[in-house]
Amino acid sequence: MEGFWEISIVDTAARFSVVVLCIVVFLTLFELVTKYDNWKEIKEGNLAVAMATGGKIFGISNIFRFSIEHNDALFLSIGWGVFGFLLLLIGYFIFEFLTPSFRIDEEIEEGNRAVGLLSLIISVGLSYVIGATII
């Protein structure tokens, strides 16, 4: 029984570390595709950016939750997590494409909380759909 706990602790620590690293990397990638500086805007109190960024963090974390839940192997969990992130990123571009009357990034940067909230909800909602398809 003692070996079980040691293995579980190591496995949990490994998965936690990998997911935190992936969140940092994926948020950096999201930062590259947005026209504003997320952390500068959040520091200045832009609630719309904070909501959109929070939705991305939740979305990425939720995808990894499903990935970890359905896969015993760490590398398989990472692979599904990366694939899920790519789908989430595609969802971001589709959201931008489906709103031709205004630019999502510009509205969020200007502090439009309605657009920030919608962005949050889209990220969270898509993460559940993506997660449900992970095997």
Give the orientation angle of helix 74-97 with respect to helix 47-70, to 10 degrees.
140
pLDDT of residue 87: 96
Q: Is the pLDDT of residue 5 over 70?
A: no
Q: How far is CA 93 from CA 30, 78, 81, 86, in A?
A: 11, 23, 19, 11
Handedness of CA 79, 54, 38, 105 (dihedral sign): positive
pTM above 0.85, yes or no: yes
Number of structural domains found in the chain: 1
For 36-76, write each residue's pLDDT tens digit. Answer: 999 999 999 999 999 999 999 999 999 999 999 998 888 99
For 68-106, write each residue's pLDDT tens digit. Answer: 999 888 899 999 999 999 999 999 999 888 888 889 999
Domain that holds residue 116: 2-133
Sequence letter at residue 59: G
Q: Is the pLDDT of residue 24 over 90?
A: yes
Q: How far is CA 65 from CA 6, 18, 70, 78, 102, in A?
A: 22, 12, 9, 11, 33
H and E: helices and strands count for the chain:
6, 0
Confidence of residue 4 (pLDDT cuts 50, 70, 90): low
CA-based nearest residue to 55, from 128, 114, 121: 121
